Amino acid sequence: MSQQAPSIGGAVGTAEQPRLRWMREVWRSTIGKKVIVAVTGIILALYVVAHMLGNLKAFQGDGQGAGAAIDGYAEWLRTVGEPAIPRNGALWMVRAILLAALVLHVSAVVQLIRRNRDARPEGHRDVPVLRRSLASRTMTFTGLLILAFVIFHVLQFTTRTIHPTPLAGGAVYANVYDAFQEWWLVAIYVIAVGLLGLHLWHALWSATQTWGADKPNRNPTLRRAAKAISLAVAIGFAVVPLAFFTGILPEPESSSQLASTEADR
């Protein structure tokens, strides 16, 4: 016989309470959604910084026959954890975490925007608007463009579903070199990372407010830190395509021939 637990007020409650009800309550609350946006945003920001640092390995050159450093780094990402973890295992775990963080981040942001619009009174356009920065005013716009760019980037270099330039498996340096000989691809990437820096600037500052870390005596430092990190990320990403396009980074040996052969298979 199942036992029932007494409850206050004469009501009888069962022990079969939803175990994860607190998660639904957090998700349904506005504050909870803001916390989720902050947490997932930090996860994505940490990945962005790590990805930018990995891209900078392109400046170690093509290796002069010994293999480009960035190619070795890409191979390490596929083999890290072996033999305990299968090849590509750690990479797919990271991808799963990033995908979950991205879905939660976008879903929570969209719902917060809807709630904000629904809460606006009639004639809200006539109400004076607080002065906000460009980064703050364009968060939704930059977020949508960054999401579109991420999809394009994954389809081009990760899944190789679209290939406006020749691509070869494992030849990261050669693939990136060939891609960034096209001015329009360089323009897309530079503009996209510029928008990323703008988005990240306000996102990092907003996250400190969500966590309650902001205080009058430390706010200037937090703002400067957010600006410095976002600027470093934008510049770090942008210099790679610009360096390939301008010839600062040398052409790899037989890169075009290797890529063309791989694309024809």
pLDDT at 186: 97
Domains annotated on the chain, with CATH: 23-117+135-263 (1.20.1300.10)
To the nearest 10°, report the CA torsion of 93, 94, 96, 102. Answer: 170
90-113 tens-digit pLDDT: 999 999 999 999 999 999 999 988
Alpha-carbon gap, residue 55 to 69, rounded angstroms? 10
**Does 166 sit behind a cis peptide bond, omega within 30 degrees of 0 on the bond before it?**
no
Report the candidate in 63, 70, 42, 35 with the shortest Cα–Cα distance to residue 170. Answer: 70
Of the pLDDT bands very low, low, confident and very high (cuts 50, 70, 90), residue 72 is very high
Mean pLDDT across the chain: 84
What are the pLDDT digits (tens) for 78-95?
999 888 999 999 999 999
The SS3 call for residue 142 is helix
pLDDT(227) > 50: yes
Shortest CA distance to 39 belongs to which of 256, 207, 185? 207
State residue 220's pLDDT score.
85
pTM, two decimals, is 0.82
**Residue that is written with structure tokens 């957090």 in the block:** 26
